[in-house]
Amino acid sequence: MFTDSHCHLDFTEFDADRDELIKRCAQLNINRFIVPGITAKRWPRVLELCQKYQNAWPCLGLHPWWIAKATDNDLIVLDQMIRKNDIVAVGEIGIDGVIEDIDKQTEYFVKQLHIAKKYDLPIVVHHRKSHQLIVSELKKISLPKSGIIHAFSGSYQQAKAYIDLGFKLGIGGTITYPRAIKTIKTVKKLPLDSILLETDAPAMPLNGFQGEINSPEKITDVFQQLCSIRTESPEKVQQAIEQNLLQVFNLE
């Protein structure tokens, strides 16, 4: 069985054929989906979707791209929603070094780390040119549950800093691009017990599919690419990845 450990199934791109998509995934043995919420406005939709599809699991968080508009009230609502619903992680949260207002991003990242700590939940982290900032905040707060560094790209040294803090790395379509030399080299060396698979659909199309809507169905392509990079057998890789997933998320 495969799991897409990060896909935005709630996005409107999937409105036209979401039921069919889930069926097509089942035929490919892709049977679980972790669905991160990105803004307060979208959280109810993520919860609704995960109620409808029993194999979709919700995370709620304020994504750094939309932090400019986020308010303290959103954090209060987040706290309440987590208390009232079965959420598997706080996410997607993080710091994006390419967009503006690193201070507000950091403030909201840290406040959401505290919510994760309060509810004993793992986190799903967005990064871009921000490894140092994120690692330094993670070191300051000791989280009872770690989580996933989503769409990891970077050096082995950067990966190691997260692994040392107990985190796993979400590996997605990036490794299908031959130009991602540094990340591919890192993924080759990573301990197998630190890897999870994800698509980030509908974003981040794989190499050869640029300009198209990405889909959780592509998780099998990411898996094949991962196996071509690793030395272990595909059976061993697949088994390890599902085990890793269950170490991060409580999917009961």
- Closest approach, Cβ 239 to Zn ion, in A, equals 26
Secondary structure (DSSP) of 25-64? HHHTTEEEEEEE--STTTHHHHHHHHHHSTTEEEEE---G
Residues near 75 by beta carbon (within 8 Å), at least 6 away in sequence: 62, 108, 111, 112, 115
Stretch that binds Zn ion, among 15-23, 25-33, 171-179, 199-207 (CB under 5 A): 199-207
| Least distance to Zn ion, CB of residue 173, Å | 12
Site for Zn ion in 200-219 (CB under 5 A): 200
Residue nearest to Zn ion (CB): 200
In whole angstroms, the minimum distance from the beta carbon of 8 to Zn ion comes to 6
CA separation for the pair 21, 174 (Å, rounded): 22
# residues near Zn ion by CB under 5 A: 1
Contacts of 67 (CB under 8 A, 6+ apart): 101, 104, 105, 108
Q: How far is the CB of 161 from Zn ion (least distance, A)?
A: 21
Stretch of 65-73, 78-86, 106-114, 194-202 contacting Zn ion, by CB under 5 A: 194-202
Cα angle 125-68-8, degrees, rounded to a multiple of 5: 45
User: Among 173-181, 195-203, 229-237, 241-249, which window interacts with Zn ion (CB under 5 A)?
Assistant: 195-203
In the complex with Zn ion, which residue's Cβ is closer, 3 or 230? 3
Under the rule (CB under 5 A), what is the footprint of Zn ion? 200
